[in-house]
Amino acid sequence: MYRKIGIVFQPRVRNAAHWATVVRQRLSGFGLDAWVADVAFPPEPLEADLIISLGGDGTILAVARVAAPLGIPILAVNLGRLGFMTEFDPHQLLERLPDLLKGDGWVERRRMLAATLTRSGSTVRELLALNDVVISRGSVARVIRVRTCVDGAYLTTYVGDGVIVATATGSTAYALAADGPILHPELPDILITPINPHLSFDRTLIVPGGAKIEMEAVADHQPFLVVDGQEHLPLEQGDLVCATLSPYTANLLRWQPRNYFYSSLLRRLRGRESEL
């Protein structure tokens, strides 16, 4: 089923380069064509039937933003700490690889966000996010104001450290740290969660997947637009950030049962507690 395999690794993760070599050699033993790339430098064009991600959740986020528009599934291997989205450790991968290459397993489709940054009426950037789009106060310890509209209707002006617009996948990331709820990762809903609100609306609002969320930051210093915690764009006064559900999905190849999320959620959260 899978003939051309991409292996993307996070070089900052210990032993990631080593495991990339091991996996490539194993694939070569099956007579398959495989390439290896640093997560910061994926090949262009990205040609693969399957991408094996070696790292942690951050590696998956980076891979998903380039793989989703092409419909390429991702098999995520945990070499990091928490690994909320990962499927295997490297030893389990080597054990299950023959079955997965034959087409066993199933694909979990997770909705993503499309974000547009508009300045003076012109589009500056179009961005894709699996976890979240955040308007942040940046490094200056002063509140910002984020005027927020949903489907053209004024919602509120948040006052605080910023606002998180998250997917269901992102509900277990930054939004969870900001006291947001946990959603099943295949739900199409969008969360709007304030960060450390000060005398302003302080609850997460869940809106349907078809909603269009528009935000404008007002501050006496430079705020930032942050995508999946990895892309940071400085915002200017009057910039407008629009977030909607993307037509693309992150397609994660799974071996676990389809109800894995419920059985693994508390275990993963307790794992996070043990690292603190």
137: closest CA among 160, 111, 166?
160
68: closest CA among 167, 197, 200?
167
d(CA 39, CA 10): 6
Q: What angle do CA 7, 10, 11 make, to 5 degrees?
A: 110
HSE, CB side, 13 Å, CA atoms: give it for residue 131.
23
Active-site residues, by number, are: 57
Contact 136, 130 (CB under 8 A): no
DSSP characters over 26-89: HHHHTT-EEEEEETTS--SS---SEEEEEE-HHHHHHHHHHHGGGT--EEEEE-SS--SS--B-
**Run of H or E including 24:** helix 16-29
Which residues have a Cβ under 8 Å from the Cβ of 247 and sit 6 or more positions away?
Answer: 114
